[in-house]
Structure 1
Amino acid sequence: MDTITLDQFKDRFHSEDICADYLFQMKWPHGFVCPKCSHRHFYRITTRRLPLYECAQCSHQTSLTVGTVMEGSPTSLQKWFTAIFLASRPSPGINAVQLKEIIQVTYKTSWLILQKIRRAMSTSDATHLLSGMVQVHDACYGHPYNITHQTHSKEHFLLVGTSLNEQKQPTYIKMKLLLESPREKFISTPQKKSFAERYIEAEDSEVEYITQRLKPRRLKIGYPYFKKASQWLNETFHGIGVRHLQAYLDEFCYRVNQALDQAPLFQSLIQLCATTKKADYWQVTRRKRKNKRSSRGQVANSFYPL
């Protein structure tokens, strides 16, 4: 399905009933399970826009979209499926303006849909640690920097971690934005330690740090992916501010990792969206007041949260 056109996709999912049946399979791949008592038999109630499933044992009713990123959304499943399909395409991706025109919704709705999909991708990434041979290097997104000057306010520093196989080919990649940019463009030891604690399997991992900017880029195995990510952000979205940058980096890494794993992108993403709990407005927009930052000597909040 990853190679079909948008028109072919719309022909495949041409009704709400077809989308509902497919979402049911993604949410309950081994058959219905009551979220209250785990009973497996149900009655299907079709008096609403989307069907309700009533447990045959405890009579608990659950909606198809409860416990998914689509929960509470008035947008049709067909439009959600189209958004997920476009977000799953490896290139060039989709922005909110383009999606707004395709599925005929407001800009705010299209933006929120894409942000909720990205949050599902970030949630998936949080469950997967780098392991085995791991290479970590620094990178900078944003304003072109000059190594002879201090950090620019529009330079956003991050660490790129890559799991490697025995042939030193990448098998999984992470890009994590630093919460505070280094003053002298140098990634500190506490920040490296924080990255390792959060994103690298502690046992049986061999970690190589390349964090000096004067090192040849050819030694940084993850750098070509970061370069592609930067080009994608600039060409598709015309640049991203720091507030939402981590979500977009997670989106890029998700597609790369699915491709490295040779996983079917659309099926993997819609199953992920079907099993990821919804995020509220404040979580999606990141306008909620942040917790106080820890002191410079601590590493608990070195990287941006989801």
Structure 2
Amino acid sequence: MAMNPIQFQPGLSMPEFFERYGTEAQCAAALEQTRWPNGFRCPRCEGTAYSRVRRRHHTLYQCCACRHQTSLIAGTLMQGTKLPLATWFLAIHLISQAKTGLSSLALKRDLGVSYPTAWLIHHKVMEAMVEREARYVLDGQVQIDDAYLGGERSGGKAGRGSENKVPFVAAVSLNEAGRPRYVRLTPVAAFSREAIAEWAKTTLRPGSTVYSDGLACFGAVTSADCTHQPTVVAGRKPRDVPEFHWINTVLGNLKTSLSGTYHAFGFQKYAARYLAAFSYRFNRRFDLRALPTRLLIAAVRCAPRPQRVIRSAELHC
């Protein structure tokens, strides 16, 4: 059997990573280039002339026009950190290259930091992923399905009404050859026509053709100027419904990823982040080597997120 070129692509190896970003100076140079690719730009007055002010642990950039001082990490996801840049770069590399995801416990061991620190780094990076994924709009032929995170609690409600289940819409757009291009996994309040109509307006491009299993609420995609093609699949197994092959494959991969990586996490609070992390890697699967650089750009462009905001799980970048 021929090897899948996507699965067997080399990615960015650890030796290559340390050759590029093995020192604090290399990380600082890469971060400066990422933040100001066309040269320094003052965040206050847009001035380009600056001087460097040396501090014991870091360097400040002082604008010659307005005298405003800033640092490499100010205004980024890393603002306020006391960790070396090399630790952040390694975390970004490990998170981006882990095909099935990376737990905070594994990240703790790899970085040599405490679990709370690893957890915070992990969730900050996933916040950047949430922001980037929100830019993807699906078009053309789109398969959608209803899905849930979590299971039934002992003595609680059964089925879709379980209070421990977080509903989300799984959607995958197909290319001209009928293969998956992009995926969006979006938590919703409920599978109601109102929730699906709102989801469709922010996720689907007008004119798309949406294929679903006939769940009544999915008819609301027409409110976003999309065509709805329902197929009733009552009682049939996924293998007996080839027209939904790719959405079922994506959901199967998601289940394998979550169950194989995480023992447990707060479904109600953090579902959007874990789903976005899966989508982020899937949507950029064709160039694994570029993932660390792209994720670094996302972290630089994402506004600071202090711990209180990260733990509230109410705001995203």
Report the TM range for the smaller structure's normalisation.
0.7 to 0.9
Match of 1:236 among 246, 252, 261: 261
Asked if the contact 2:101–2:258 (Cα under 8 Å) also holds between the matched residues in 1, the reply is no
2:208 is the alignment partner of 1:205 = yes
Q: Does 1:222 align with 2:226?
A: no
Match of 2:34 among 22, 26, 33: 26
Identify the range of structure 1 (246-255 vs 165-174) with the bigger mean alpha-carbon deviation: 165-174
Q: Residue 189 and residue 126 in structure 1: after superposition, are their counterparts in 2 closer, same or farther (change >3 A)?
A: same
Q: 1:210 to 1:283 in 2, by over 3 A?
A: farther
User: Aligned to 2:285, what secondary structure does the other structure show?
Assistant: helix
Do the aligned partners of residues 216 and 192 (structure 1) sit closer, same or farther apart at CA in structure 2, a change above 3 Å counting? farther
What is the DSSP-based 3-state SS (H/G/I as helix, E as strand, rest coil) of the residue aligned with 1:264? helix
Question: 1:248 is matched with which residue?
Answer: 274
Which stretch shifts more, 95-104 or 246-255? Answer: 95-104
Q: Which runs of 5+ in 1 are unaligned?
A: 181-186, 291-304
TM-score normalized by the length of structure 1? 0.83
- Sort the Cα spacing of 1:139 and 1:12 in 2 relative to 1 into closer, same or farther, 3 A: same
Residue in structure 2 matched with residue 274 of structure 1 by the alignment: 300
Residues 112-150 of structure 1 deviation map (CA, whole Å, 9 limit, x = unaligned): 0000000000011122222233222212333279xx956
Once the two structures are superposed, residues 223-276 of structure 1 have per-residue CA deviations (whole angstroms, 9 ceiling, x without a partner) of: 211211111111111233312122101000000011157771111101111111
Aligned match of 2:61: 53
Give 3-state SS (helix, strand or coil) of 2:67's partner: coil
RMSD: 2.6
Does 72-81 or 23-32 show the bigger shift? Answer: 23-32
Task: Provide, for residues 75-132 of structure 1, a one-character-per-residue CA deviation record: whole Å limited to 9, x for no partner.
Answer: 1101001100000014243211111122221111110000000000001112222223
In structure 2, the partner of 1:264 is: 290
Corresponding residue for residue 97 of structure 1: 105
1:108–1:233 CA distance, 2 compared to 1 (3 A): same
Identity within the alignment, %: 28
| Structure richer in helix, relative to its length | 2
Q: How does 1:6-155 map to 2 (within 5 A)?
A: 6-143=14-151, 151-155=161-165
Structure 2, unmatched stretches of 5+, are 1-8, 216-232
Q: Which of 135-144 and 28-37 deviates more? A: 135-144
* 2:192 corresponds to 1:188: yes
